[in-house]
Each structure stands twice: as C-alpha cells, then as structure tokens.
C-alpha cells in the first residue's frame, strides 16, 4: 500500500488539538464539512441522516409488530431478530420477550417487555484509506516503540 494514500484529505496536525489525552479538531474547525466531496452539501448529509432515521424507525415499527405477534404465538421463543440490508450496511434489531435489569439505586428488579437493541452497521466499502492510515501509523508506532 502506498504511503502517499494514508491521508487522502491532507489533514495536518495543526488542524487538531490534544487536551487531557483526547484529540479533537481545533475549535471552530469544520473538517468534515470543509472536505465533503464536490456536489454534496451539509444539507444533503443531514437529509440522508434524517432519511436513515425515518427508515430505521419504520423498519422497527413494522418488524416489532411482527415480532410481538410471533412471540405471542410461540411461547417457547424468547426473542426475534430482524436483519434489514441498507445500501451500505444493515439495520439489526433484537426484540426480547422480557428484558430483565436492576435499578442501580434501589436494586429492585425491572422487567420490560418487547425491549431490545437496534444497531445500524455502515460498511465503508473497500476501506483503502483506513487500511493505508492504519498501516502507516502501525509502521510509525513500531519504529517509535518497537
């Protein structure tokens, strides 16, 4: 892998700051916004995010109803999993018949029905930039600490 490709957007250390062991873009830097591909605006990104949220909510609503119906009919089943592909990833939900937890303050048992997890996985394609950056940083770390 070419070392020239480890930082395709050309960020510089001066674009970031390190405080208390955490590195963040410098105050006022809008790196993500400044480096969007030509023809894609912040408004486009927000619209896509809103669509993903609405799409996910709709998937959860319908598949949740299906899961509850299935759990009612099948007393031996404790959970139903939904997997729904999206263009560059997947929405996965887990609907549990019962979700048992404890109130950390009182220690009292809490049982909620139909609760579960929702995760949205986004695939980044071939991840060449990420692989190149990791290889570059790995080589630097090996040289510095190895």
> Do the bridges between strand 89-96 and strand 116-122 make them parallel or antiparallel, or are there none, so unpaired?
antiparallel
Confidence bin at 126 (pLDDT 50/70/90): low
Nearest CA-CA partner of 116 in 139, 82, 66: 82
Q: Check whether 3 has a pLDDT greater than 90.
A: no
Nearest CA-CA partner of 121 in 31, 48, 37, 52: 52
- pLDDT of 134: 82
Tell me how many degrees the CA angle 129-135-141 measures, rounded to the nearest 5: 135
- pLDDT of 131: 79
pLDDT tens readout for residues 6-54 = 888 888 899 999 999 999 998 777 888 988 999 999 999 999 989 988 9
pLDDT tens readout for residues 42-78 = 999 999 989 988 998 899 889 889 998 998 999 999 9
Secondary structure of the chain as H, E, C letters: CCHHHHCCCCCCHHHEEEECCEEEECCCCCHHHHCCCCCCCHHHHHHHHHHHHHHHHHHHHHHHHHHHHHHHHCCCCCEEEEEEEECCEEEEEEEECEEEEECCCCCCEEEEECCEEEEEEECCCCCHHHHHHHHHHHHHHHHHHC
Neighbours of 11 (CB within 10 A): 13
- Per the model's pLDDT, the better-predicted residue between 2 and 11 turns out to be 11
Residue 144 and residue 10 in contact, taking contact as beta carbons nearer than 8 Å: no
Cα 19 to Cα 4: distance, rounded to the nearest angstrom: 28
């Amino acid at each position: 892998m070419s070392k020239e490709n480890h930082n395709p957007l050309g960020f510089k250390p001066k674009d970031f700051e390190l405080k208390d062991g955490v590195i963040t873009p410098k105050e006022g830097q809008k790196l993500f916004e400044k480096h969007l591909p030509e023809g894609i605006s912040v408004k486009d990104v927000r619209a896509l995010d809103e669509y993903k949220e609405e799409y996910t909510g709709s998937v959860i609503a319908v598949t949740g109803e299906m899961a509850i119906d299935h759990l009612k009919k099948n007393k031996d089943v404790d959970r139903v999993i939904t997997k729904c592909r999206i263009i560059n990833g997947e929405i996965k939900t887990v609907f549990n018949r019962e979700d048992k937890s404890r109130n950390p303050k009182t220690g009292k048992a809490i049982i909620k029905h139909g609760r579960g997890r929702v995760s949205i996985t986004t695939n980044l394609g071939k991840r060449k930039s990420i692989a190149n950056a990791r290889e570059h940083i790995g080589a630097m770390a090996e040289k510095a600490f190895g």
